[in-house]
Amino acid sequence: MQLAFRWLKSLRIFPKLVLAFLLALGPIYYIGLTMNRSGAEHVRAEIGNSLMSRVNLYTEILDVDFDRTIRLMQEFVNDVDLLELSVAHEVMTDIERTEAVLRVKHRIDLLRQSSVFVRSAFAMIPSLDRTISSEVTAITELERDQLEALLQIKNLYESPFLEWNGRLFISVPYPDAGTAKTPLFVVAVEVSKAELTKALERFTSEGGGAVLTGRRIPWTVDGGLEADRAQALRKELERLGVSASGEARTVTVGGVSYLLSQQASDRLDVTMSMFVPSEQIEAPLRDSQRWLIVLSAASVALVITFSYSIYRMIHRPLKSFMQAFRRLEQGNFNVELRYSFQDEFGYLYDQFNATVRQLNVLVHEVYEQQYRARLSELRHLQSQINPHFLYNTYFLLYRMAQRKDFDNVVPLTKHLGEYFQYITRDGMDEVPYEAEAAHAKTYMDIQSIRFEDRIQAAFEPLPEGAGAVLVPRLVLQPIIENAYKHALEKKESDARLVVVTELIDDVLRVKVIDNGDRMTPELAEELQAMLDRSDDAIETTGLVNVHRRLRIKYGENAGLRLRPAEPQGLSVEMRIPWEENAG
């Protein structure tokens, strides 16, 4: 011991420092190595648990999604229109049958939109020999082979899926196919295998894969797997079956090791299996071991490089931060910091870059809002006076004065005065409907003088209580103007326009009905779809402007409803909830 002590005393400072540093690093290195091994085992266990959690989560997502679709289908079998089409279509008129089919088509479309995994929805009615579908061709001839396939006896709560011609379906016959009676109709959806595949691909990590298989009825959908590898994995799954413990396990297919986790769904009668290559788990752990060796070697040079490392890790990043803040203070929102390490400064740099990008977005949003406000004001002013209407009216006044038709000049100038008095009154955003209706009637009177006997226009009396309902200003005239411009102006004779006001179920309903000859049900449906779109790229004038103003102010129950008129033309119905706006 004394010799060792004397030997230490004889050493120079540098060897002493090296020896002391190595003695200090020895226990730390041992603890680090032990922790690395323990951490590796913990990571393996956590990865297995994480894989199991993902499988359980994705299985639950599919359960909830398809359970919602099945419940909607079961509710749909009680649809009155569907029952009437099945048993009473022979005593229904053509109009009743058409309206019933349209309502069923609407419910079918809602069923189709209930889930991203539903490719199409349809109702098969054997008595009509027709299928009402959510596809572009809504009504098609009934396919008997498909009907027989969809009537396979099964328990919807044990195994909802069935496969026919490589396609996957869920069907609900009414009455139940298990009875002896022939079903009146079958409500069914076709499951999109493509969307299931996409979902499985999203569920999996790179190099991994997922397989969804039916249990009682054999069918398979996989995602993230190559064809050969998918086939080999499916065979291995058939051989292994579902793990009773539910824990992740290791399987080998084609010389490649995988970590496998499975979850069975009793509700859908399917099994979700997810694979992750073991190499993805072991590679980071091996990298960790190599880095441990590198760290051990780097620790020897730690004292020499400490001062320089402090400068690079703290002083330089802070300097870059200060320079970036100065550029930002000068109004440069395109500044971006780059950092090659993944430490705290890397996080701060990322947060700084995200904050700058958000500031840039907010600045542009404020500018865009100001621009849209000015543009909206300009469009409002432009929409108040239609130049073509103004020109035509003054030319009409000129011709009447030239013909010395003073009997019509007097009322025309009176109507024009009332018209311009109303549209230039900017102080009020809302007016009683009585005033709005009077302005619209004034506009119709001007048009009646202009078109003389070619267009017959009528504004029916207001029902009791309707005149006091507050409505946004200038919402009725654009609808009437649209009827004149697009439906009646070019008709040579027998052109008619009627405005009807009703108060039904606490809703003010104003119908503008024309008998134009260019309107079809398809065009009316297309126009309604255009109104309901929220795309800002649509020009917000005319009917679109009125519809959006009503929706923004009163909500989804307000707005315009477009329907074909009988026997021809278009009916535009404006709906305003009157109790809400009155309060």
Give the pLDDT band of residue 298 (cuts 50, 70, 90).
Answer: confident
Residue 221 phi, psi (nearest 5): -135, 130
Cβ pair 483, 546 in contact under 8 A: no
- Residue 172's DSSP bridge partners are 187
Give the pLDDT band of residue 382 (cuts 50, 70, 90).
Answer: very low
The alpha carbons of the chain give a radius of gyration, in whole angstroms, of 38
303 inside domain: no
- Show the tokens assigned to 211: 């397989």
Q: Are residues 31 and 90 in the same domain?
A: no
Please report the pLDDT score of residue 583 as a whole number: 46
Please identify which residue in the block is written with the tokens 């025309």.
Answer: 412
Task: Name the amino acid, one letter, at 481.
Answer: E
- For position 392, which CATH number holds? 3.30.565.10
Question: For 496-532, what is each residue's pLDDT tens digit?
Answer: 999 999 998 889 999 999 998 888 889 989 988 888 8
Task: Name the amino acid, one letter, at 94.
Answer: D
Cβ pair 409, 417 in contact under 8 A: no
Least confident segment among 100-104, 231-235, 302-306, 463-467 = 302-306
Say how far residue 190 (Cα) sits from the centre of its chain: 21
Q: How many CA atoms lie within 13 A of 292 on its CB side?
A: 18
Question: For 403-462, what is each residue's pLDDT tens digit?
Answer: 888 788 888 888 888 888 888 776 677 899 999 999 999 999 998 888 877 899 999 999
Contacts of 322 (CB under 8 A, 6+ apart): none
Please report the pLDDT score of residue 502 as a whole number: 94
Question: For 316-350, what is each residue's pLDDT tens digit?
Answer: 777 777 788 888 777 777 788 887 777 777 778 88
Q: How many CA atoms lie within 13 A of 513 on its CB side?
A: 16
What whole-number distance in Å separates Cα of residue 537 and Cα of residue 80?
40
**For residue 306, is pLDDT > 60?**
no
What whole-number distance in Å separates Cα of residue 355 and Cα of residue 173?
56
Contacts of 284 (CB under 8 A, 6+ apart): 43
Q: Are residues 420 and 568 in the same domain?
A: yes
What whole-number distance in Å separates Cα of residue 451 and Cα of residue 54?
71
Please report the pLDDT score of residue 118 as a whole number: 92
Q: Which of 381, 406, 421 is the last residue of a domain?
A: 381
Contacts of 107 (CB under 8 A, 6+ apart): 76, 79, 81, 82
Question: For 549-583, what is each residue's pLDDT tens digit?
Answer: 888 888 888 999 999 998 899 999 999 998 655 44
Q: Are residues 98 and 183 in the same domain?
A: yes
What whole-number distance in Å separates Cα of residue 537 and Cα of residue 152?
49
Closest C-alpha to 170, from 136, 239, 127, 217: 217
What whole-number distance in Å separates Cα of residue 64 and Cα of residue 140?
31
- Name the burial class of residue 361, with classes exposed (0-12), middle (13-18) and buried (19+) by CB atoms within 10 angstroms of its CB: exposed
What whole-number distance in Å separates Cα of residue 367 and Cα of residue 361?
10
90 inside domain: yes
Residue 331 phi, psi (nearest 5): 95, 10
Query: Cα dihedral angle (535, 538, 543, 549), rounded to 10 degrees?
Result: 50
Please report the pLDDT score of residue 36 as a whole number: 73
Q: Are residues 422 and 360 in the same domain?
A: no
Question: For 158-213, what is each residue's pLDDT tens digit?
Answer: 788 888 888 999 988 888 766 656 788 999 999 998 898 888 888 777 667 788 88
Q: Are residues 390 and 528 in the same domain?
A: yes
Please identify which residue in the block is written with the tokens 């069918």.
Answer: 219
CA dihedral for 318, 319, 322, 324, sign (positive or negative): negative
Q: Which of 164, 191, 218 is the last residue of a domain?
A: 191
What whole-number distance in Å separates Cα of residue 466 and Cα of residue 581?
13
| Enclosing H/E stretch for 94 | helix 94-112
Q: Which of 176, 191, 206 is the last residue of a domain?
A: 191
Cβ pair 298, 304 in contact under 8 A: no
210 inside domain: no
573 inside domain: yes
377 inside domain: yes
Q: Are residues 95 and 166 in the same domain?
A: yes
Q: Give the pTM.
A: 0.44
Q: Are residues 351 and 476 in the same domain?
A: no
Q: Are residues 501 and 389 in the same domain?
A: yes
Cβ pair 232, 238 in contact under 8 A: no
Quickly list H helices, 257-384: 278-300, 302-310, 316-329, 344-384
What whole-number distance in Å separates Cα of residue 73 and Cα of residue 67?
10
Q: Are residues 377 and 394 in the same domain?
A: no
Torsional class of 502: left (φ above 0), alpha (ψ -120 to 50), beta (otherwise): beta
Specify the number of domains making up the chain.
4
What whole-number distance in Å separates Cα of residue 353 and Cα of residue 338?
9
Quickly list H helices, 385-484: 387-402, 406-423, 433-451, 477-483
248 inside domain: no
Residue 549 phi, psi (nearest 5): -60, -45
Closest C-alpha to 512, from 559, 571, 439: 571
Q: Are residues 546 and 441 in the same domain?
A: yes
7 lies in which domain range? 2-49
User: What separation in angstroms does the CA of 363 have from each of 245, 340, 359, 369?
Assistant: 56, 29, 6, 10
Instruction: Work out the average pLDDT over 98-113.
Output: 90
298 inside domain: no
Please identify which residue in the block is written with the tokens 């479309």.
Answer: 109
Cis peptide, bond prior to residue 175, ω within 30 of zero? yes
What whole-number distance in Å separates Cα of residue 553 and Cα of residue 65?
34
What whole-number distance in Å separates Cα of residue 55 and Cα of residue 57?
5
**Residue predicted with more confidence, 544 or 241:** 544
Q: Are residues 366 and 458 in the same domain?
A: no
171 inside domain: yes
Least confident segment among 39-43, 59-63, 541-545 = 39-43
Contacts of 47 (CB under 8 A, 6+ apart): 259, 276, 281
Q: Are residues 13 and 98 in the same domain?
A: no
394-419: b (≥16 Cβ within 10 Å) or e: eebbeebeeeeeeeebeebeebbebb
